[in-house]
Every structure is written in C-alpha cells, then in structure tokens.
Amino acid sequence: MHGRPRKASKPEEEAASAAKAVKLRSLQSQFMTYHHDKIYTKEAIELSTKLLEINPEAYTAWNYRKLAVEDSLSRIGPDPSLVKPILDEELRVVENALKQNFKSYGAWHHRKWVLSKGHSSTGNELKLLDKFQKLDSRNFHAWNYRRFVVELTNRSEQDELQYTDDMINNNFSNYSAWHNRSVLLSSLLANRADGFVPEKKIPDEYEIVHQAIFTDPDDQSGWFYHLWLLDQTVNVESPLLTSSWPSHGSSVILSGAGCFNGSPSNFTTFCSETGSFPLILYFDQAVGGVSSLTVTLDSELKGNENLVWEPISNKSSQVSCVWVARLNFSSQPCGSKDYKVKVRLGNSPGIVSSRGFNFSAPYEFVFTAHVHDPAKDSQERIVSWTDGFELWDAQSKDLNSLVTLGQLNAGIDLKWRQAAIDSEIECFRLLADSKIGKLTLARLLMASEAMMSDAAVKGVHYEEILQLYNDLMALDSSHHHYYKDEHSVAFLHKVTSSSESLSRYLFRYRDMNNLVCLRLNKLSLSRIASVNKLLFVQMLDLSHNELHSTEGLEAMQLLSCLNLSHNRIRSFSALDSLRHVKQLKVLDVSHNHIGKHSVDTTRYLCSSPLSNSDLSQDDVRRQNPGLVTKYWDAYFVLRDLNLKQLDIAGNEIAGDEFNSFVLQVVPKLVWLNGQKPGN
C-alpha cells in the first residue's frame, strides 16, 4: 500500500476510464432522480448499490441508502429477523465498496452507522478488520473503525494493547499502531487497570520504543511515540502553582502615585496611582476556577474581602496559567506599618486544569506589605536606556526570596520520573550523531532540569542544551527558527536557574527610585520564557534581540518600563499581550519592522475587529475613522495602555501621520520618540 510507484496509464486504460466515466454519469443522474423523488424501491436501491460499487466515494449515495434503510425499517417494525437481512445487505455493500477503495470515508462511515443500529455481529467485524489490517497494517480508517468496534464489544483494552504489540512487531513503522497504543495506555493508566501504574508501565514503554528508534532512527513513527512518552513522564496531571508575586516570605513596599523615596536597600518597591497592587498566581498549566472562593486571603489590609480574580490570557477564555487580583492598600492608614497577608489555595476544590484535573495539593504563602506615604514627584522625566544603571548589589538572600519557587515539585511522585528521564538521557547520548537524536537529547535534558530540586546540581545541563541547539541550527537550516526559539527558552531557563546567574543581569535604575531592571539585551533571543521567575521585574530591557512578539510578558504585572528596540516586531498586534500590563508607562519599540510588511498575517486571525459592535465608539474613532482603519492594530494596543513615553522611530510605520494618530489615541503621552509632543 505504501511506497509503490504510480504507473503512467496506457491509452487503452484511459479509454476504459473514459467509458467508465460515461457509465458512471448516467448511473449518477438516474440515481439523483430517485433520491430527489424519495423513491426507495428495490430497483432504486440496487442502482445505488451499483453506483457505490463503482464509486465508493459517492457520499450522497451512502446518505440515500441510510434514508432507504430507515424507510424500510419504519415499515417492517422491530422484528429482528426482518431487520437483520436489511442491515446485512448494507454491510455487504460496504464491504464491496471497501474492496474497491479501502480508504473510502463514506463507506467506513456507513459501516459505523449500520453497526450502531445493533443487530450486527461485532465478532465478524473484528475478523474483517484483521483481514484489512493484514493487507494494509497502517490504514488509519481501519484503525479508527477498530476502536469503534472494540468499544461495542467487551474486548479488553489489554487485548487491544497486545494487538498493537503484534502489529508493531510485524512492522514497527506504523503510526496508527503506535497511536492506538498511546490511546489504550492513556486509558489503562488513567483507570489504574491492574498492573498499569505509570512508574512501571512508562519505563517499559520506553524500552519498547527504544528498539524501534535505535533500529531505524530515520523512521519517525517511533520518535512520535517517544515524544508522547516524554510528555507522560514530564507532565504531572494536577496543576501546580509555580510562582507568585509577592512570593512567600517576601516584603513589599507600597506607595501611592509618584515615587517613593525610601531606602534603596529594601528591594521591592511598588508605586501605584490607583492605590492597589497586583497579586499574581502563576500555574504550571492553564487553569480555571480561580476566585475568592478557591483562593482565600487572610489579610490585615482592609477592603480586600471579595477579590476579583482575572485570567491573564490573550485568548478571551476563562482558563489561564496566570491569574491576577488587585489588592487595595489605599484605605490603610499611612505610616511605616507592616501588614501580613496570607494566601491559601487548594483547600476547597474548584481550581481545575483545562484537561480536567483538580488543583489538589493545598498550599499557602505569606508576605508582608509596608505601606508608605506617596512622595511628591510629578517630574515626568524621560527614561533613558543608556545610562543610570547600576549593577544591583543585593544580598543573595534577598534574591533568593525572589526566585525561590513555592509549590514546585512538592508531593509529586518525582522519583520514577527523574529515573526515567536520567536513563533516557544516558540512552540518547548514544544517538546524538543524528539531528533527531540531538533534539531529543536536548528535550530530555530540559525535562531533567525542570524536575531537579537539588540546587547544587541544578543548571548543570544548560551548557550542553545550548550547544545542542547551536549544532542543530548549523545542521538543519530548514528548522532554524524552531531551534532558535528553543535555544532562547533554554538560555532564559539558564539565566533564571539560580539567583547567582540571574544577578548578573539585574540592575537598579537610579533615576526612577532605584527600580529593579533586568537587562537581557544583545542575547539574540527570539522567544520569551521563564517569565514565572521574573514576576518582580519592573523594568525590562530586551533590546537588540530577535523577538517577534511579546507573548509571555503579560504575566509581568509590575512591569513599568519595557525596551524592545532593535528587535523583529512586525506589527502592533505582536504587542497585544502588553494590553494586560496595566502598569506599563514606558515602551520603546523603535527600530523594529512595524509597517514594513504590508501583509500582516495576524490580521487573518482576527475577524474584522472594527466591525465588532461590542467595541464602544470612542472619540478617536468618531473623529478619525480613516486612520483607525488604517492603524487599527496600533489603535487596539495603544488605547488600552497608559503610556507616558513611547518610542517608535526607526519603523516603517513611523511618520507625521502616525505620530499624530498616536497622540490622539494616547493623549497622556509625555514623550514621543524622545521629544515632548507639541514642542
């Protein structure tokens, strides 16, 4: 069935096929007449049989037969001895059609339909399937149908698993068999069928797939299964909290509008015009159901009894990895008073992952808030990214409290998972001369790092991972972008793996109350990662990289200054995630590619946002509908931000027209492209 060359047809064959087409057309037109007139006589049904035997793809004919069967069933009543011959005839027609083309969707579907009526022997179906699957062991139609039939029988999943064993032994280059294996195993493991515990079965499966991968590394089917196994090993079912801001045991200094001129040694200073600060929860997978019912707060800060939790996600769904609530501190009396806040979650059910698993391990964390008077600082000075930075000389314990993660790995059956990954790493070092071998090794090493809890050895793999991705970029240029992204992810994991490595990139910005600034510039990053460990960052320099989008930054709710200059941003849509960062005041997107590419692919993903009647008409849209239509992506992003300073110079889009449009959309803007507007 596979790998057979197509033969050019000979003239006589072409003539035969032309004759067949004529015959088929006349059959078809006769058939359509019967169908439209709802004629279900014996003669009419036989005609459809003939048609389907020649062309099993005639979907209408299959539907006609369904109607015809329903028609005759309605007339003969429920007597099984009368019903069965009618259904058997259908099975016979399908079988003939499948002999003609056993990849006919219509035929397989019709067979399912007949079977679902009952009355037919599922045993016969399995025998028939064995025959088909012997002829073409990879035919996914047959495999699909097999799953359907097995569901109708009481054949055990173990037996079916054995069947995939046999098929794989026969020829392991069989995606369908491996796939069915993953389906069956998922179910057996989820139901905890006897002997089917992941810590035993998953390593066994690794052993099997190794045989395939090592025998023929060029065959992809085994690699796909390996990827699935790796996923089973790494991913824990129930969601976990990976980090929060403020983090456990930390202190934050809160003040109102303007800037607080307090002691710079104490680290997290947060100023807010609204008198509130964000409480951020970062989960390892998208969850829903975060609310004041599922997250309880014991707080000395008054007025936070019914917190509103918001998912921070680009998609307007109710699941997200990141959830934010805003805690009010403005009603507190001022003065250097400490308020303790205790956050508890997991005590009552309700936080559920998108795959349906409960956040089940109860967890709590405590932080201290110092509320200070707001300082008077109305000077709207320009933020410069070139000077005013000092390497941050923080004590490592201060840093530790920032990057130490809360619940990670607590109470998880990590032992077998780590053991499995370790033995995989050892195994795949042997295959590291192939591309897929290198990639798998890199993935395994990343997985190993993710599971490490021992600080002493954490981070040992990153150099190797980065080297592997570098090798891959050189070896396999067609997947360069993917490797580049993975390289960036690994690099950022490395940076955030310890407070020591992170501190090399941390600075304080003198001019703005010693804001904590993370400078990850000139690192040729193409993707953002590890944001969960960077929630405390207030100023972020990502200039001179290769970023295409700001995706991931939405979790950084404290971020007030962001430098994205000299990157590869192609449109304002790529900055969409920043709309969630309410604190953002300073944005530099100069020297990117905004407006350079006339075709913006992201546009096709949106269904004409301007026609959406939900969006309220504002002044800008009323006054300048033409410009809004022209710069709609900029309009949607900038409208939702509270920017004071924006740099867009060095982009195609920049120009007088756009500048004036920006000023209309963001009237509060103080600095545009380094100048005060109006000057």
Tokens of 153: 């029988």
Q: Which is nearer to other proteins, 19 or 430 (CB)?
A: 430
In the complex, least distance from residue 161 CB atom to other proteins, rounded to whole angstroms:
17
206 or 270: CB nearest other proteins: 206
Selected binder of other proteins within 162, 169, 470, 623 (CB under 8 A): 169
CB-wise, 430 or 475, nearer to other proteins?
Answer: 430
Ranges within 184-243 binding other proteins (CB under 8 A): 210-212, 214-217
- Cβ distance 268 to 254 under 8 Å? no
Contact with other proteins (CB under 8 A) among 102, 172, 359, 392: 172
Binding part of the chain for other proteins, among 165-173, 487-495, 564-572, 655-663 by CB under 8 A, reads 165-173
- Measured from the CB atom, the residue of 440 and 567 that comes closer to other proteins is 440
Stretch near other proteins under the rule CB under 8 A, chosen from 8-16, 168-176, 452-460, 506-514: 168-176
Q: Residue 261: helix, strand or coil by DSSP?
A: coil
Annotate each residue in 373-412 with x if it binds other proteins (CB under 8 A) or - if it does not, as one string: ----------------------------------------
Min. distance of Cβ 143 from other proteins in angstroms? 19
- Please state the closest distance from residue 639 (CB atom) to other proteins, in A: 58
Q: Segment near other proteins (CB under 8 A), from 115-123, 167-175, 177-185, 550-558?
A: 167-175
Q: Does 347 bind other proteins (CB under 8 A)?
A: no
Provide DSSP, 90-156. HHHHHHHHHHH-TT-HHHHHHHHHHHHTS-S-HHHHHHHHHHHHHH-TT-HHHHHHHHHHHHHS---
| Collapsed DSSP state (helix, strand, coil) of residue 292 | coil
Q: With contact defined as beta carbons under 8 Å apart, do 345 and 359 qualify?
A: yes
Nearest partner of 337 among 255, 281, 415, judged by Cα: 255
The span from the CA of 252 to the CA of 247, in Å, is 10
Does the protein bind other proteins through residue 41 (CB under 8 A)?
Answer: no
CB 91 within 8 A of CB 120: yes
Helices (H), 3-104: 11-36, 42-54, 59-76, 80-100
Alpha carbons 617 and 160: distance in angstroms, whole number = 60
Nearer to other proteins, 73 or 427 (CB): 427
Q: Considering the complex, state which of residue 205 and residue 633 has its C-beta at the smaller distance from other proteins.
A: 205
Least CB distance from residue 215 to other proteins, whole Å? Answer: 5
Residue selected from 9, 170, 266, 467 as contacting other proteins according to rule CB under 8 A: 170
On whether the CB atoms of residues 324 and 277 are closer than 8 A, the answer is no
Q: Minimum distance from CB of 216 to other proteins (Å)? A: 5
Q: Which amino acid, residue 531? A: V
171 touches other proteins (CB under 8 A)? yes
Q: At what angle do helices 480-495 and 435-451 cross, to 10 degrees?
A: 20
Q: For the chain, report the end-to-end CA distance as a whole number of angstroms.
A: 75
Give the tokens for residue 106: 């219509």
Q: Which of 666, 671, 659 is nearest to 380 (CA)?
A: 671
Tell me the site size for other proteins, rule CB under 8 A. Answer: 15
Residue 197 vs 419, nearer CB to other proteins = 419
Site residues for other proteins, 430-449, by CB under 8 A, read 430-431
Question: Cα–Cα distance between 443 and 453 in angstroms, integer?
Answer: 18
Task: Record the tokens describing residue 49, joined without a space.
Answer: 């049989």
Q: Which stretch binds other proteins (CB under 8 A): 169-177, 273-281, 476-484, 593-601?
A: 169-177
CB of 134 to other proteins, least distance (A): 11
- The residue among 173 and 285 lying less far from other proteins, judged by its C-beta, is 173
Site membership for other proteins, residue 420 (CB under 8 A): no
Should residue 265 be labelled a site residue for other proteins when binding is judged by CB under 8 A? no
Encoded tokens for 206: 């690794």
Q: Which helix (H) or strand (E) holds 211?
A: helix 198-215
Residue among 15 and 135 whose Cβ is closer to other proteins? 135
Grouping H, G, I as helix, E, B as strand and the rest as coil, residue 370 is strand
CA neighbor of 493 nearest in space, from 531, 550, 547, 464: 531
Q: Which of 427, 450, 606, 663 binds other proteins (CB under 8 A)?
A: 427
The CB-of-127 to other proteins minimum distance in angstroms stands at: 17
Give the CA distances from residue 340 to residues 253, 275, 278, in Å, rounded to whole numbers and listed in that order. 12, 17, 15
Go through 540-576 and write b for each residue having 16 or more CB atoms within 10 A of its CB, e for each that does not: bbbbbbbbbbbbbbbbbbbbbbbbbbbbebbbbbbbb
Provide the residue type at 505 as one letter: Y
Considering only residues 51-70, where is the footprint of other proteins by CB under 8 A? none
Whole-number minimum distance, CB 165 to other proteins, in Å?
11
Q: How far is the CB of 648 from other proteins (least distance, A)?
A: 54
Write down the least CB distance from residue 158 to other proteins, Å. 20
Asked whether position 425 contacts other proteins by CB under 8 A, the answer is no
Q: How far is the CB of 370 from other proteins (least distance, A)?
A: 59
In the complex, least distance from residue 214 CB atom to other proteins, rounded to whole angstroms: 4
The minimum distance between CB 213 and other proteins, in angstroms, equals 8
Site residues, other proteins (CB under 8 A): 169-173, 210-212, 214-217, 427, 430-431
